[in-house]
Amino acid sequence: MTSSIPEQPDAVVARLRATFRTGRTAPLEWRTDQLRRLRALLTEHGKDFAAALHADLGKGEAEAYRTEIDFTLREIDHTLDHLEEWLRPEPAPVPPHLSGAEAWTVYDPLGVVLVIAPWNYPLQLLLAPMVGALASGNCVVAKPSEMAPATSAAVARLLPRFLDADAVAVVEGAVPETTALLEQRFDHIFYTGNGTVGRIVMRAAAEHLTPVTLELGGKSPAFVDRDTDADTVAARLVAGKFLNAGQTCVAPDYVLTDPETAARLEPALARAVTALYGDDPAAAPNYSRIVNERHFDRLTGLLGSGRTVTGGTHDRDRKYIAPTVLGGVAPDAPVMQEEIFGPILPVVEVADLDAAIAFVNDRDKPLALYAFTESEETRRRLTGETSSGGLGFGLPVAHLTVSDLPFGGVGESGMGRYHGRYSIETFSHRKAVLSKPLA
């Protein structure tokens, strides 16, 4: 579009739908070409995106590449490597009463897909779903988060220069613009963000019987067993928790452990914070800022729970909150009532594994559950006796970097899944075909 007047949502969708109807987006060649163009966008403009991410979140350049740009490139490459194989028709055995017939499934593109992204990984969480949507032969309306305005502007400026502009549109905006978009009929809506808006999205989708994927959040617990080395566990917990200043959907939200292990783990967590960010994390290039004043005020309001093991300092002008560990936190403390989504790690004491499992099962199903243990029996029990979007033993956050694993929530943490071939399942219709010869 060359006009400076923003195109209305109904016009955007109509334009993309017209493109979809021509069949242009269906061939494998169009799909792989779009993925290669997306690849070129990220490699040629990586520095622009890194600068935008720094402006929005104070993200260091290395972290911006690792968690957003290179992450998305890996998803693109994995898809390019396997797409043809994933799209192959899959035969199904036919029952005896249909002998002579053949049955198989094929993947149909859905049509026009809406992707709504949040602010915390504003590039990755917009583009990684788009990889799957484009690989599945769809047109895409991409709605970046207004709370990451520099990244939103960079995507809106650059993406149309690389991708098929009649098949992919970026619509910037906040609640009014998103509300107007949601009135349109899409063939799938992929939403990442909080559960309150997730419900709004699902209600709007119901009007058109549009299927949804909801990638939501919640409190992801980390259980630490008594047989573990405190420094190893602490180093891994700190790296996962304070990545992006705790503004990561799969960050360990709180630690569950017995009192003796807590006494060993808490000083180890303080040492691990210093090892990763130095004595003054405010000066560390690898430590992000809180996205805005509203979240800053919400988070500083949670600092009063329990006892401060390390951190606790903050600076509103710079939207800085030190990596903070709170010890002896009561289950009914304010910090335990909502997803923290910031650099505060409470340690909650429970008697044993049974109590930890009961604690998890008494609450909403988390997006991720982590456990640090040497015990095979403990791993088996946690696998079988709890439900969560993903389960990580010995390492938080990293499961979402495995392209062959599905990524998604369950219950309050969401519905549906993506990454790799699971994105093809999400953004396609698996059509059943039966064929019986006429003679």
User: Which residues are identified as catalytic?
Assistant: 215
The most distant pair of C-alpha atoms in the chain lies apart, rounded to whole Å, by: 81
Which of 174, 355, 395, 434 touches ligand NAD by CB under 6 A? 174
Cα–Cα distance, 52 to 49 (Å, whole number): 5
Which of 33, 146, 172, 231 touches ligand NAD by CB under 6 A? 146
Q: Does 344 bind ligand NAD (CB under 6 A)?
A: no
Q: Does 337 bind ligand NAD (CB under 6 A)?
A: no
Q: Does 364 bind ligand NAD (CB under 6 A)?
A: no
Q: Which is nearer to ligand NAD, 249 or 357 (CB)?
A: 249
CB of 216 to ligand NAD, least distance (A): 6
Q: Which residue has the tokens 């003679």?
A: 439
CB 9 within 8 A of CB 186: no
CB 252 within 8 A of CB 27: no
Cα–Cα distance, 330 to 133 (Å, whole number): 44
CB 316 within 8 A of CB 293: yes
341 to 170, 173, 191, 247, 409: CA distances (angstroms): 27, 23, 18, 5, 16
Q: Which is nearer to ligand NAD, 124 or 261 (CB)?
A: 124
Short-list 260, 258, 270, CA closest to 231: 270
Q: Read out DSSP for 367-389?
A: SEEEEE-S-HHHHHHHHHH---S
Q: Does 118 bind ligand NAD (CB under 6 A)?
A: yes
CB of 389 to ligand NAD, least distance (A): 7
Q: Does 367 bind ligand NAD (CB under 6 A)?
A: yes
Of residues 256-315, those binding ligand NAD (CB under 6 A)? none
CB 190 within 8 A of CB 129: yes
CB of 409 to ligand NAD, least distance (A): 6
Which of 56, 215, 225, 425 touches ligand NAD by CB under 6 A? 215
Q: Which stretch binds ligand NAD (CB under 6 A): 106-114, 210-218, 277-285, 321-329?
A: 210-218
Q: Does 119 bind ligand NAD (CB under 6 A)?
A: yes
Q: Which is nearer to ligand NAD, 108 or 183 (CB)?
A: 183
Q: How many residues interact with ligand NAD (rule CB under 6 A)?
A: 28
Which of 192, 288, 388, 423 touches ligand NAD by CB under 6 A? 192
Q: Which stretch binds ligand NAD (CB under 6 A): 145-153, 163-171, 232-240, 421-429?
A: 145-153
Q: Does 178 bind ligand NAD (CB under 6 A)?
A: yes
Q: Which stretch binds ligand NAD (CB under 6 A): 21-29, 30-38, 140-148, 302-310?
A: 140-148
Beta bridge partners of 414: 215
Q: Does 155 bind ligand NAD (CB under 6 A)?
A: no
Of residues 378-417, those binding ligand NAD (CB under 6 A)? 409, 414
CB of 301 to ligand NAD, least distance (A): 16
Q: Which stretch binds ligand NAD (CB under 6 A): 38-46, 97-105, 187-195, 431-439?
A: 187-195
Which residue intervals of 45-163 are DSSP H helices? 46-57, 61-64, 70-87, 124-135, 149-162
Complete edge-to-edge strand list for the sheet that includes strand 212-215: 168-170, 139-143, 112-116, 188-192, 212-215, 414-415
Q: Read out DSSP for 277-303?
A: H-S-GGG-TT----S-HHHHHHHHTTT
Q: Does 184 bind ligand NAD (CB under 6 A)?
A: no
Of residues 220-249, those binding ligand NAD (CB under 6 A)? 249
Please give the sequence-ordered ranges of beta strands (E in DSSP) within 151-253, or none if there are none.
168-170, 188-192, 212-215, 221-224
Residue 303's contacts (CB-CB under 8 Å, 6 or more residues apart) are 312, 314, 321, 324, 326, 344
State the residues that interact with ligand NAD by CB under 6 A: 116-120, 125, 143, 145-147, 174-175, 178-179, 192-194, 197, 200, 215-217, 249, 339, 341, 367, 409, 414
